[in-house]
Amino acid sequence: MSWLHALIQGLWVILPAYIANGAAPVFGGDSRMDFGKQFHGNDLLGAGKTWEGFLFAITSGTFIGLVQVVLLPRLNQFVASFGFSMPQITVTAAFLLALAAMLGDVVASFFKRRSGTERGASVPLLDQLDFLIFSIPVALALTQITYFTVFLLILITPPIHYLFNLLAYYIGIKEVPW
């Protein structure tokens, strides 16, 4: 399998996690996931983790999974002419990918607060890869992607994340461009 085929398969499978991660800032609200609690003198998670963002993210990721399930047969017909095939995905897998993505994001904020990093301050690589921490194991367990695909996803995600955040910043749904 070519690297391009492996990469496209990976992006297809991980899409619910990408969408979840991208959706959170759109509907970030005021209901803090840490309920304003502190831990060792710092916010437990910080004001950037809200239930609105979390739930909207998971709903969006699951919805994309549904769209993928509907589109897959036609898409596979289309990409077959390039010698490609897209892996199967289920709505349950999409839900779990989105949930895992948002849990990874929460865990990353937990550790950012423990190291005294302010909400929204950047920690390169962690900020771009946090949502993959748990969604990659879910993808490996529930879909037919290879370790090579995982490797490519880890490589390609920081630049993709960077470009989309820049876009989100300029259209005003993110306060900082990272």
Residue 6: in which H helix or E strand, if any?
helix 3-23
Cβ-based nearer residue to ligand CTP, 8 or 105: 105
Specify the stretch interacting with ligand CTP by CB under 6 A; choose among 24-32, 34-42, 139-147, 149-157: 24-32
Pairing of strands 38-39, 42-43: antiparallel
Cβ-based nearer residue to ligand CTP, 7 or 168: 168
Task: Indicate the angle between helix axes 91-114 and 132-142, nearest 10 degrees.
Answer: 150
Please tell me whether residue 118 adopts helix, strand or coil conformation. Answer: coil
Asked whether position 53 contacts ligand CTP by CB under 6 A, the answer is yes
Strand residue runs (E) in 33-139: 38-39, 42-43
Cβ-based nearer residue to ligand CTP, 72 or 103: 103
Q: Which residue has the tokens 């929460």?
A: 106
Q: Which of residues 104-123 bind ligand CTP (CB under 6 A)?
A: 105, 109, 112, 119-120
Shortest Cβ distance from residue 10 to ligand CTP (Å)? Answer: 22
Q: How many CB atoms lie within 10 A of CB 36?
A: 9
Question: Dihedral of CA 110/118/57/149: which sign?
Answer: negative
Cβ-based nearer residue to ligand CTP, 6 or 105: 105
Q: Which of 14, 24, 58, 145 binds ligand CTP (CB under 6 A)?
A: 24
* Sequence-separated (6 or more) residues with CB below 8 Å from residue 77: none
Asked whether position 25 contacts ligand CTP by CB under 6 A, the answer is yes
Asked whether position 54 contacts ligand CTP by CB under 6 A, the answer is yes
What six digits make up the tokens of 105? 């994001």
Q: Which of 50, 62, 128, 135 binds ligand CTP (CB under 6 A)?
A: 50
- Which parts of this chain interact with ligand CTP (CB under 6 A)? 24-25, 28, 46, 48-50, 52-54, 102, 105, 109, 112, 119-120
